[in-house]
Amino acid sequence: MSFRAFIPVLAFAALVVLLSLGLREDPSRLPSPFIGKPAPRLDLPTLADPSKRITNADFAGKTVLVNVWATWCVSCRDEHRFLLELAKSKTIPIYGINWRDTSAEAKNWLQQLGNPYTEIGEDQDGRAGIDWGVYGAPESFLIGSNGKVLHKQIGPLDQQNWERDFVPLIESQEPGT
């Protein structure tokens, strides 16, 4: 009997532990290293008109939401409904980074589902995604009026995490409070 022969059993046992943890609901969240740092550099052609560019200067002095999305991402479709509501409520401007996608697909998506974004930058080769430390889509960054990252959300936004994590931070940014 050699140890090597037991590798498959041990590997599978580890997988079972992983999966059983995966069945637990609502894991608590850890703070992200991005918080409190200046927003990473942004300089992308816009989806609507590739000759124009979207940069950090576009939202200087404003509190904005930067949302990374792609048409191939299943949970972005879920999140989109929430973004539309958020845009309707005019709480905050939403800037989109269309990540590793094609313009045709992205335009079709917006045409079919509606467009919640103030402006969208096209990041076809994923360079901006690297600068912004994007693991996958969707991800959202709350950028304060001082240009610093206030909060980073990995995974879809919804009413619950919006009210819990974003709203208090946005309110603390309001001028005069």
Partner 1 sequence: MIPEIGHFALILALALAIVQGILPLVGAHRGDATLMSVARPAIAGQLLFVALAYACLTWAFLHDDFSVLYVASHSQLALPFMYKATAVWGGHEGSVLLWILLIAAWTGAVARFSRRLPQPFVARVIGVLGLLSTGFLLYTLLTSNPFDRLSPAPADGGDLNPLLQDPGFVMHPPLLYVGYVGFSVAFAFAVAAMLSGNLDRKWARWTRPWTTAAWMFLTIGIALGSWWSYNELGWGGWWFWDPVENASFMPWLVGTALIHSLAVTEKRGLFKSWTLLLAITAFSLSLLGTFLVRSGVLISVHAFVSDPTRGYAILAFLAIVILGALTLYALRAPDLDSDAGFRPTSRETFLLLNNVLLVVAAALVFIGTLAPLVFEMANIGKISIGPPWFNVAFIIPMLPLVYLVGVGMHTAWRHHATSLLPKSLRWPAAIALVLGILIPGLVYGRFGVLVCVGTVAAFWVMGSALVDPIRSWRRAAGTPGLRPGVLGMSVAHFGVGLFVLGVTLVSAFTVETDRSMREGQALDVAGHTFELRELRDVQGPNYSAIEGAIEIRDNGKFIGEVLPQKRQYLVQKNWMTEAGINVHWNKDLFVALGDQLGNDAWSVRIQYKPMIRFIWLGALVMAIGGLIALSDRRYRGGPTQEEDS
Which residues of the chain form contacts with partner 1 (CB under 8 A)?
Answer: 1-2, 4-6, 8-9, 12-13, 16, 18-23, 25-30, 70, 72-75, 100, 104, 107-108, 111-112, 126, 135-139, 153-156
Extract long-range pairs of 157-163: CB within 8 Å, 24+ residues apart: 157/67, 157/79, 157/82, 157/83, 157/86, 158/78, 158/79, 158/82, 159/82, 162/82, 162/86
- Distance (Å, whole) CA 99 – CA 70: 5
Closer by beta carbon to partner 1, 59 or else 99: 99
Closer by beta carbon to partner 1, 47 or else 59: 47
Least Å distance, CB 135 to partner 1, is 6
Least Å distance, CB 62 to partner 1, is 25
Closer by beta carbon to partner 1, 121 or else 156: 156
Contacts of 128 (CB under 8 A, 6+ apart): 40, 42, 43, 44, 97, 99, 121
Closer by beta carbon to partner 1, 53 or else 107: 107
